[in-house]
Amino acid sequence: MANFATETERRPWLPLPPWARGTLVTLSSIAVTMLGLLFVTFLIGRVMPIDPVLAIVGERATEEQYNAAYRELGLDRSLAVQFFYYVSDVLRGDFGTSLLTAGDVSSDFARLFPATFELATIGILFGCILGVPLGVIAAVRRGSWIDQIARVIALVGYSMPIFWLGLMGLLLFYGILGWVGGPGRQGIFYEDMIPSVTGMILVDSLIAGDWAAFRDAFSHIVLPASLLGYYSLAYISRMTRSFMLEQLSAEYITTARVKGMSEWAVIWSHAFRNIRVQLITVIALSYANLLEGSVLTEIIFAWPGIGSYITTALLSADMNAVLGGTVVVGLVFICLNIFSDLLYKVFDPRSK
């Protein structure tokens, strides 16, 4: 968990009100983290064994052509200058050209991101809707069979390779039972039938009012999304349980019970109220992790999102696409971290 702005100011080195100083410290640490992220990807791009010039001009280029391209890429300048150009390119949203799709990496991302976003969002909804109540019940009925089941669900989730679970799911629900649609986002019949508005097929088919297409898209997304969501379910239910246990052993809960409050009110309007902020932080974090899990899930389910884009690029040594993907996923990751930190600051009075 990135902990931004942990270095609380010890002495007032700027004549600013505390909130402004706090914001400044947070902003600067975000900037430093992002710069570091770019620096790492820049370094990876420099140590890679693939010659970026050869990749552009091809094997049979003359030495003149080679040198021209070498200068064009700015490789004759010092590393510091190259890094500067790299950062300014990224800030303008320019990740270079993908060798594989021959298009801008950034426009490739814009096209593919909705698919990953749709998958991860349905996944996290699944994880929250089942995980939070499961965690609460496991804490309240500690040691009961529900608690044991919650424990097993979490353990299995922590121990199962996601790509294998995906294969098994495909085998069982698609191959044997035939309950869900196969790999891909849509059946062949529905492909390109829905005008793309948001890029998310579930939403687009609703906008178009095409129920058959919606059902088809849903049958394709339900399996990958619920498998992906299973991993956040494991994490969310475990964390909910331990947060709830902490609250339930507090004295104010005993007081509430002694006052004769109903158990339901004690649990939901006292204990659960107090874990909401922590819970949102956990959910934001597992949402960020879903992006990562989606890399492997997308490959299994032939889902045309960021994850399969990065891995296809990786296997064909398309470094612009790989590094661009790393930066984009890293940025989303950092933003979600910051978001959860901010939520904590805003909603938890103790952190003020």
Partner 1 sequence: MSMTSQTPPSSGGQSLRQWLLSDTPTSRRQARLSALYQGWLALRQNHMAMVGLAILVVLISIALFAPLIAPHDPFVQDLANRLQPLGSEGHLLGTDSLGRDILSRLIYGARITLYIVALVALIAPVVGLLVGTISGYAGGWADVILMRITDIFLAFPRLVLALAFVAALGAGIENAVLAISLTAWPPYARMARAETLTIRSSDYISAIRLQGAGPLRIIIKHIWPLCISSLIVRVTLDMAGIILAAAGLGFLGLGAQPPSPEWGAMISEGRRFILDHWWVATMPGLAIFAVSLAFNLLGDGLRDVLDPKDSAS
Binding residues vs partner 1 (CB under 8 A): 1-4, 6-7, 29, 32-33, 36-37, 40-41, 44-45, 47-49, 155-156, 158-165, 167-168, 170-171, 175, 238, 241-242, 288-289, 291-292, 295-296, 299-300, 310-311, 314-315, 317, 319, 322-323, 325-326, 329-330, 333-334, 337
Q: Which residue, 223, 216, 55, 239, is CA-closest to 134?
A: 239
Q: Do you know the residue count of the chain? A: 352
CB of 78 to partner 1, least distance (A): 21
Nearer to partner 1, 204 or 341 (CB): 341
Contact 30, 4 (CB under 8 A): yes
In the chain, what is the straight-line distance between the N-terminal and C-terminal CA atoms, in Å?
A: 20
CB of 62 to partner 1, least distance (A): 29
Nearer to partner 1, 277 or 319 (CB): 319
Nearer to partner 1, 255 or 316 (CB): 316
Nearer to partner 1, 122 or 291 (CB): 291
- Give, in degrees to the nearest 5, the angle at Cα 78 between 72 and 81: 75
Cα–Cα distance for residue pair 150/137, rounded to 1 Å: 9
CB of 180 to partner 1, least distance (A): 14
Cα–Cα distance for residue pair 338/149, rounded to 1 Å: 33
Eight-class DSSP state of 196? P
Nearer to partner 1, 124 or 201 (CB): 124
Contact 234, 153 (CB under 8 A): yes
Nearer to partner 1, 101 or 311 (CB): 311
HSE, CB side, 13 Å, CA atoms: give it for residue 344: 17
CB of 322 to partner 1, least distance (A): 5
Amino acid at 345: K
Handedness of CA 92, 96, 100, 102 (dihedral sign): positive
Nearer to partner 1, 20 or 156 (CB): 156
Cα–Cα distance for residue pair 181/222, rounded to 1 Å: 9
CB of 63 to partner 1, least distance (A): 27
CB of 334 to partner 1, least distance (A): 5
Nearer to partner 1, 165 or 213 (CB): 165
Element counts in the chain: helices (H) and strands (E):
14, 0
CB of 266 to partner 1, least distance (A): 22
CB of 43 to partner 1, least distance (A): 8
Cα–Cα distances (Å) from 204 to 59, 114, 133, 220, in that order, read: 45, 11, 31, 15
Nearer to partner 1, 25 or 208 (CB): 25
Which residue is associated with the tokens 């939901």?
268
Classify 37 as helix, strand or coil: helix
CB of 24 to partner 1, least distance (A): 16
Q: What is the per-residue DSSP string for 58-99?
A: -TT--HHHHHHHHHHTTTTS-HHHHHHHHHHHHHTT---B-T
